[in-house]
Amino acid sequence: MKNQTKKHILASFNELLEKKDFDKITVEEVCARAEISKPTFYRYYRDKYDVMTYNFQLLFEEYFVLTEELDLHSFLEQMYRATQENFLPIKRTFDILGRNSMNEVIYSLVVGALVDRLAGLQDGTITREQRIQCDILAYGISYIGENWVSGRYELTPEEAARATYQLLTEEMK
């Protein structure tokens, strides 16, 4: 029941986001649409920004999981495809908020994938230097995603993935 309420709040938020800009949506409106009280809303989310962050997490988790069968190039392509297929709500939030929680979600997802890949190739750990490389690449990829959504790059998901993949070290590939 708890998870259903959280998802119901998210669905109500997304319905509002389809009709209104993010900055115009209030917690009161989300509560009214979801037919819940404000205390119920605050049991699940801190504020509307927290709802958006959860939205981004689900969006990307829904699209892919890095497995042994999925190489990093395909992983990146799926990430860009997920962004493209959900372009309008993501673009709306960037237009209004600028850099937002989507960057952090992408960073966490990518750094996790890179660290897992390197650790899997070694004895389960990575060096400090490799961790720095993973951090730099993951932050860079999150900014690439932001710039791509904002229209600074006119690339297909495949082209964006190829350009990003070329930045990886041979060890990471």
Residues 31 and 62 grouped into a single domain: no
Q: What is the pLDDT of residue 66?
A: 46
pLDDT at residue 93 greater than cutoff 70: no
| Nearest one of 167, 150, 153 to 76, comparing CA atoms | 167
Residues 33 and 85 grouped into a single domain: no
Residues 139 and 161 grouped into a single domain: yes
The whole-angstrom separation of Cα 144 and Cα 161 is: 10
- Band (170; pLDDT cuts 50, 70, 90): confident
What is the CA angle 74-161-126, rounded to 5? 70
Q: What is the pLDDT of residue 36?
A: 96
Least trusted range by pLDDT, from 30-44, 111-125, 130-144: 111-125
Residues 109 and 89 grouped into a single domain: yes
Task: Compute the average pLDDT of residues 18-47.
Answer: 93
Q: What is the pLDDT of residue 16?
A: 92
Please say whether the beta carbons of 48 and 25 come within 8 A. Answer: yes
Residues 18 and 98 grouped into a single domain: no
How many domains, the chain?
2
The whole-angstrom separation of Cα 111 and Cα 158 is: 20
Query: If you average pLDDT over every residue of the chain, what do you get?
Result: 81
140, burial (CB in 10 Å: exposed 0-12, middle 13-18, buried 19+): middle
Q: What is the pLDDT of residue 10?
A: 93
Domain that holds residue 171: 47-173
Report helix angle 157-165 to 128-149, nearest 10.
150
- Band (35; pLDDT cuts 50, 70, 90): very high
Instruction: Output the domain CATH number for residue 162.
Output: 1.10.357.10
Residues 53 and 86 grouped into a single domain: yes
Residues 22 and 53 grouped into a single domain: no
Instruction: Output the domain CATH number for residue 40.
Output: 1.10.10.60
- Band (99; pLDDT cuts 50, 70, 90): low
- % of the chain residues with pLDDT over 90: 22
| Nearest one of 109, 60, 104 to 85, comparing CA atoms | 60
Give the tens place of pLDDT for each residue, 58-75: 776 766 554 445 677 887
Residues 155 and 97 grouped into a single domain: yes
Residues 78 and 24 grouped into a single domain: no
Residue 133: how many CA atoms within 13 Å on its side-chain side?
17
The whole-angstrom separation of Cα 50 and Cα 145 is: 20
The total of other beta-carbon atoms located within 10 Å of residue 82's CB is 21
pLDDT at residue 88 greater than cutoff 70: no
Residues 85 and 152 grouped into a single domain: yes
Residues 93 and 140 grouped into a single domain: yes
Residues 145 and 120 grouped into a single domain: yes
